[in-house]
Structure 1
Amino acid sequence: MTQPPRVAPVKDRFYARTFALVTCLVLGLALFKIVQPFLGPLLWAIFIAFLLYPLHVRLAARLRGKPQWSAALLTVLTFVVIIGPLTALSAAFAAQVGDLLQIVQDKVAGQTTGNVLNLANVPWVRQGLDWLNNTLDIDLAQLQSWITQASKETLQSLASLTGKAFIGAIGTVVGFVLMEFMLFFFIRDGGEMIQTARELIPMAETHKAKLFDHLAAVTRAMVYGTGLTALIQGVLVGIAFLLASLPSPIVFGVIAALFALLPFGGTGLVWGPAAIVLAAQGRWGWAIFMLIWGAILVSLVDNVVRPMLVSGRANVGTLTVFIGVLGGLAAFGAIGLFLGPVVLALIIALVRFRLEMRRAEVAAKALSAE
């Protein structure tokens, strides 16, 4: 007679699970310490491989089922597409940042009480200045000095931030080489890695499929909808600055692309002040051009192109993008621009799936009770 399987005592199962949990935590910590020195290149390799995976599947089929050749071609293509434009943009950005800061320093040095920035010539401002002088002992010269110095420091901080976000995306040469090396393997073996991860998730197959589809849709919506839209808007603002002969079009184009990710203000925080500067210089024609260009053409990209790019994909909430972009940028660097919103969207998706499962269980119990 076959003996029934022996059931482990509750105490033994507790210690076994505790040991397994502690082992996983120790191994996880050790794994993080191992990959931490090249975490940036690793995340970029995973991200780019994920975006290129649909193309890899089609290309591998054309190459008669040779995924290694497809992965090699896509890795070389990534190198050609990224390294050339990014190197040129980095050099131009650095040069224009230096020119822009020199212009600001010259403006500060040449500031006088009789130039165009003399606020005392504005009647309604005069009353406020008199109140500041009589109440807080702050005169016009001090106020102008603070404004110009704050403008200089703000501009320098923005230029540094956008430089790290867009130009410093890849990092050092060593980081780029590591990213390219890992990219080949993630493209070639990415399908098997995803399948293994799916099998390890303790969730029903239908829910796992829905979760992975939602994550893929969110990632591509973030890249094609939010990221590509911001890039196009930044290019348009840079072109407007170039046409209007304003300084540092590349710098302000990059800043506009970053501001396009914000849920309020957006690129208007760049082309709006530019129009004011043009009007203050007496260049009314170019000021009107900047307003029309920004309000119609640049805004048209956000209102028309973004829905077209996101069509058929999961839309990402404005608050999710805002918190994810800023928090992700601070936590992970340039890759955080995309990783932050995706992580938040994944957390929201997990919460929603759990709620759906609970509602389904409640509905099933209600039906069985009837």
Structure 2
Amino acid sequence: MAERIMMGLLLGGVAAGCIVVLYPFFSALLLAAILVFTTWPIFTRLRASTNRFIAAILMMVLIALLVVLPIGLLASAGVEDAPMVVSGLLHLTAKGLPRPPGWIAHLPAFGHQLDETLQRWSADLNQIGATMQPYLGTIARRILAVLVQIAGGLLQLVIALFIGFFFWISGDALGATVTAVIGRIAGPAAPRLLAVVGGTVRGTVYGILGTAIVQGILTGIGLAIAGVPSPVLFGGIAAFVAVLPIGAPLVWVPAAIWLALSHHLGRGIFLAVFGVVAISGADHVIRPMFIARGAQLPYLLTVLGVLGGILAFGGLGIFLGPVLLGLGYMLTVEFAAGTGEFARPDPEAPLGEI
């Protein structure tokens, strides 16, 4: 009995020591695991064409170009452009939106009604701007704080890429070990549990975050073509709000209205058409295609996951928050579906994909 107690204390002490040592790298380790898991099919194809080491290096370069570089550009452009954007908003709300161009009222058939509608919208927007003006300073500070957190998360993201390199190289052995450990803990429910975990991670990363990133990039491209100032900053904001049910239109719709009322009707029409066809079209085409590869999660969990993840983990929380909340939700649903344990395992569950 005494030997078992001593052994338990020893193992507990070792576990506590490991936690203390790895705690500063917890978010980087978790993000590395998510990145490696979601990109594993790409890695296996590269590995089949080259070898394990070169494939891991190529994956690091690919993730750096697709994730690290855009986040770095967003943080840099945001910190530089945010004060200018806030100053412009203050000037705009103080001056008021311009009246619609005079030629609109002379359009045949509907010109008079369109002119009255635009004037009414202009008055409404001016009233909204006057109401929001006292709070723009606070909003600017919040935006800057988020951008600084995102910039601070770049270091953790670089560490995650470094860790991910070894995860890619040793992925097969790590996957077998994790599968064996979960099998020892969960017993016969392990295949179903692993399938739920894999589907949840894929559904969150591909269906929610992937679509948001695509919409942010498309929004930035559309704003740049239309001549809207600070397209990188607003594209990043569009990617952030794309997890909401309304999403990216919160960015490009006001920009299109601003262009139309600022005597740039052609640019405003172009941005509106581009927003409806390309930006919103991506949400209706890409999101269902990605979500079909994984589990569909409630929007509320995604929103809370992004916001809470940023507060808890900084910039990396954009990825970690929704995945953790979505995983907890799906595991809870699975547990509730059974009688005190997870639902009966599916013998056809894609365990080999985990």
Q: Distance in 2 between matches of 1:123 and 1:310?
A: 41
Deviations 1:264-307 (A, max 9, x none): 33112211221232233232333333333323432111112211
* Cα distance change, pair 106–250 in 1 and its aligned pair in 2 (3 A): closer
1:158 aligned partner: 143
Q: Distance in 2 between matches of 1:19 and 1:110?
A: 70
SS of corresponding position for 1:241:
helix
* Cα distance change, pair 25–125 in 1 and its aligned pair in 2 (3 A): farther
1:49 aligned partner: 36
Q: Distance in 2 between matches of 1:182 and 1:101?
A: 36
Determine which of 80, 97, 102 is the counterpart of 1:98. Answer: 80
2:325 aligned partner: 344
One-letter identity of the residue aligned with 1:78: M
1:274 aligned partner: 255
Say whether 1:300 aligns with 2:284.
no
One-letter identity of the residue aligned with 1:238: G
Deviates more, 1:339-348 or 1:222-231: 339-348
How many percent identity over aligned positions?
28
Deviations 1:209-260 (A, max 9, x none): 1111221122122222212211111112112211221110000001100000
Deviations 1:74-128 (A, max 9, x none): 332233234456447635752464245235436647986xx43599xx99999xx
Q: Is the 8 A contact 1:271 1:290 kept in 2?
A: yes
How many residues get paired?
A: 318
One-letter identity of the residue aligned with 1:228: G
Say whether 1:204 aligns with 2:187.
yes
Determine which of 221, 226, 251 is the counterpart of 1:244. Answer: 226
One-letter identity of the residue aligned with 2:35: I
* Cα distance change, pair 81–164 in 1 and its aligned pair in 2 (3 A): farther
After superposition, residues 1-370 of structure 1 pair within 5 angstroms as 20=8, 26-61=13-48, 69-70=51-52, 72-83=53-64, 86-87=68-69, 90-91=72-73, 93-95=75-77, 97-102=79-84, 104-105=86-87, 108=90, 115-116=95-96, 144=130, 147-148=132-133, 150-162=135-147, 164-165=149-150, 168-171=152-155, 176=158, 178-201=159-182, 202-205=185-188, 207-262=189-244, 264-358=245-339
Q: Distance in 2 between matches of 1:16 and 1:92?
A: 55
In structure 1, the gaps of 5 or more residues are 1-11, 64-68, 127-139, 364-370
RMSD after superposition = 3.8
Q: Is the 8 A contact 1:108 1:149 kept in 2?
A: no
Deviates more, 1:293-302 or 1:148-157: 148-157
* Cα distance change, pair 159–266 in 1 and its aligned pair in 2 (3 A): farther
One-letter identity of the residue aligned with 2:307: L
In structure 2, the gaps of 5 or more residues are 100-118, 345-354
One-letter identity of the residue aligned with 1:214: V
Deviates more, 1:269-278 or 1:287-296: 287-296
One-letter identity of the residue aligned with 1:318: Y
* Cα distance change, pair 283–217 in 1 and its aligned pair in 2 (3 A): same
* Cα distance change, pair 18–322 in 1 and its aligned pair in 2 (3 A): farther
Q: Is the 8 A contact 1:93 1:250 kept in 2?
A: no
Q: Is the 8 A contact 1:234 1:255 kept in 2?
A: yes
Q: Distance in 1 between matches of 2:293 and 2:121?
A: 53
* Cα distance change, pair 45–249 in 1 and its aligned pair in 2 (3 A): same
Q: Distance in 2 between matches of 1:159 and 1:148?
A: 17
Q: Is the 8 A contact 1:238 1:250 kept in 2?
A: yes
* Cα distance change, pair 297–152 in 1 and its aligned pair in 2 (3 A): farther
Q: Is the 8 A contact 2:36 2:167 kept in 1?
A: yes
1:9 aligned partner: none
SS of corresponding position for 2:202:
helix
Q: Distance in 2 between matches of 1:204 and 1:180?
A: 33
One-letter identity of the residue aligned with 1:34: V
Q: Is the 8 A contact 1:215 1:342 kept in 2?
A: no
* Cα distance change, pair 148–200 in 1 and its aligned pair in 2 (3 A): same
SS of corresponding position for 2:155:
coil
* Cα distance change, pair 214–84 in 1 and its aligned pair in 2 (3 A): closer
Q: Distance in 2 between matches of 1:352 and 1:89?
A: 34
SS of corresponding position for 2:246:
coil
Deviates more, 1:234-243 or 1:337-346: 337-346
Q: Is the 8 A contact 2:216 2:236 kept in 1?
A: yes
* Larger gyration radius, structure 1 or structure 2: 1
